[in-house]
Amino acid sequence: MILIKNLTRLMVVTKHATHLKAGDKAPKFKAKDQDGKEISLSDFAGKKLVLYFYPKDNTPGCTAESCNLRDNYNLLLKKGYAVLGVSANDEKDHKKFIKKFSLPFPLIADTEKEVCNAYGVWGKKKFMGREFMGIVRTTFIISEKGIIEELIKKVDNENHTSQILK
């Protein structure tokens, strides 16, 4: 059992859903971003990619995580990273979230959960005694060659960039 502190609430993830590990080839994907533009893993060939999965736009933990990446975006770029967020929100929700918080990177609208399932981040969660399926907050650091270098399963929303760059 993994306890995840999400700002003011406690979420229990009964078992982390992902089957992927460092050294695995990152699953290929094609999905639409907030503008309806198709994005695929191959678009990031030759670049390191921070692929972060988060539960929902405009929630406290997801906002803190996204804003931490925003605030450190130039540093991440200097270190050679591209950043791409994924949640099950639709394009319209993502557009509002990006505008409200001035996010400089794209967000994939994975409403059908195809990317989430490929990366194994759709799983059982428990909050206030209620069990439900949802995105288990996870970040994948993917190499220039499409290999998973690192998984961050216990994301520190407010200090996520430090976790990535450690």
Residues belonging to the active site: 62
Reading the block at residue 33, the tokens are 């971003």
Q: Please name the residues in contact with 32: beta carbons below 8 A apart, sequence gap of 6 or more.
A: 38, 39, 91, 108, 109
Residue 113 exposed, middle or buried by CB count within 10 Å (0-12, 13-18, 19+): middle
Q: Which helix (H) or strand (E) holds 70?
A: helix 60-71
